[in-house]
Amino acid sequence: MCLGAGGVRLDRAVAEQLLQAVSGHAIEAAIQAEEKVQVRDDDVRLALNKELESASYEASLAARRYELVDPAKRLVARELEGRWNTALERVAQLEDRLKDLEVRAQQRPSIDRNPCLAFTRRLIARWSCSMMLFRYWTGRWRHRLRSIPSFFMSAMAEP
């Protein structure tokens, strides 16, 4: 199979795919995708903050209700304490979700446009240069390889 696949064609196909992957359009698409993720995270963060504010208010309201209940009414006090604990658990869950969101946002790599585009330009220039050198040397070797049979034929013809 390896003998049937030409190295130059395969190399050219890989080069085209690589250069297409790091082209300016691909980098722009990656930057736009990152911006969309940031906007989505901001929206989620805003919604979680509003929900946390509401849950905190509900927890403080439940605490006030519990403190105002007559201690002699144990069943009512137990019910209000349960509501207060539930509200506090909800606040803790929302705070954990906000922390997780912040951690994920900080761990996500950021894409800086200028270094990426500069890298793309350097890669394309170097790849093009290496392909030109490759073509030059393969051309020279092809010429040498073509001259080998004639050398042997002339050497065999001489007594």
35-62: pLDDT as tens digits? 899 999 999 999 999 999 999 999 999 9
What residues contact residue 41 under an 8 Å CB cut-off, 6+ apart?
101, 105
**Would 31 be classed as within a structural domain?**
yes
Kindly report which listed range (10-19, 38-47, 78-87, 131-140) carries the lowest average pLDDT score: 131-140
pLDDT for residue 136: 57
Q: Is residue 158 part of a domain?
A: no
pLDDT-derived band at 1, boundaries 50, 70, 90: very low
Same domain, yes or no: 92 and 51: yes
Kindly state whether residue 123 falls inside one of the protein's structural domains.
yes
Please state, in angstroms and rounded to a whole number, the distance separating the CA atoms of residues 124 and 25: 14
Q: Is residue 41, in this structure, part of any structural domain at all?
A: yes
Place of tokens 């105002």: 68
33 with 72, same domain: the answer is yes
Query: Model pTM?
Result: 0.58
On whether both 29 and 103 belong to a single domain, the answer is yes
Question: Three-class SS string for the chain?
Answer: CCCCCCHHHHHHHHHHHHHHHCCHHHHHHHHHHHHHHHHHHHHHHHHHHHHHHHHHHHHHHHHHHHHHCCCCCHHHHHHHHHHHHHHHHHHHHHHHHHHHHHHHHHHCCCCCHHHHHHHHHHHHHHHHHHHHHHHHHHHHHHHHHHHHHHHHHHHHHCC
Range of the domain at 55: 25-111
**Most confidently predicted of 45-49, 135-139, 141-145:** 45-49
For residue 15, being part of any structural domain is answered with no
Do residues 34 and 91 share a domain? yes
Same-domain check for residues 39 and 101: yes
**Cα–Cα distance list, 91 to 42, 50, 77, 87, 139 (Å):** 20, 11, 21, 6, 72
Work out the average pLDDT over 88-93: 96
**Residues 79, 44 share a domain:** yes
Using a pLDDT cut of 90, give the percent of the chain over it. Answer: 35
Query: Number of folded domains in the chain?
Result: 2
Question: Which of 25-34, 41-50, 108-117, 124-133 has the least mean pLDDT?
Answer: 124-133
Same domain, 105 and 42: yes
Residue 13 falls within a domain, yes or no? Answer: no
Share of the chain above pLDDT 70, in %: 64
User: What is the domain-level CATH number for residue 80?
Assistant: 1.10.287
